[in-house]
Copies of this chain bind each other. A is one copy, B any other.
Amino acid sequence: MWHEPDQGDAFAPHDHALCQSRALAEAEERLRQQGARLTPVRRRTLEILLEAHRAMGAYEVLDRLAEAGFGRQPPVAYRALEFLVEHGLAHRLQRLNAFAACLHPGEDHAPVFLICRVCDKVAEAHAGNVRSELSSAAGELGFTVERATVEALGLCPACAGRDAE
């Protein structure tokens, strides 16, 4: 029982070079439509997140940006990351105080994150049913959900396999 590796699935073996360049191209296209600029820092920041294919702390990103010749002060990283998040190109993971590139930008989304506790990779799962159950549970208390954070910690298939051996 194997599945077609989809674009949100960081765990499935895949051509990661292609995965990165596609995400970058999608980002460019998306920003062009919105009239926003993918400046050098922002571009490099997105590349850093995409290369890692996992969640990274702002200071870790900052170190990499500094290596690439950009400023070494926190706002440099936070601003670029905030820009990416606002434009749907990255997500913030509350549980880790960290950021990860969005794996399927463009789609309207409020994703559910799956974080492997062994390899730190992050995937985005289909959220529709989870969200609707959440709204309905909230509705029973008269609560209106505006935004929700859904983050699961666990084992990805690769690391689960390694464990079992």
Contact = CB atoms under 8 A, between A and B. Distances in A.
Interface of A: 3, 9, 11-12, 94-95, 112, 114, 116-117, 123, 125-127, 129-130, 133-134, 136-138, 140-157, 160
How often does this chain occur in the complex, in copies?
2
A123 B152 CA distance: 20
Contacts of A9: 141
B149 A95 contact: yes
Contact of A140 (B125, B134, B146): B125
Contacts of A154: 138, 143-147
Contact of A137 (B112, B149, B151, B157): B112
26 contacts: A3-B142, A11-B142, A12-B141, A94-B95, A94-B151, A114-B138, A123-B141, A123-B143, A125-B141, A126-B140, A134-B150, A134-B152, A138-B154, A141-B156, A143-B152, A143-B154, A143-B156, A145-B154, A146-B154, A147-B153, A147-B154, A148-B150, A148-B151, A149-B149, A149-B153, A150-B150
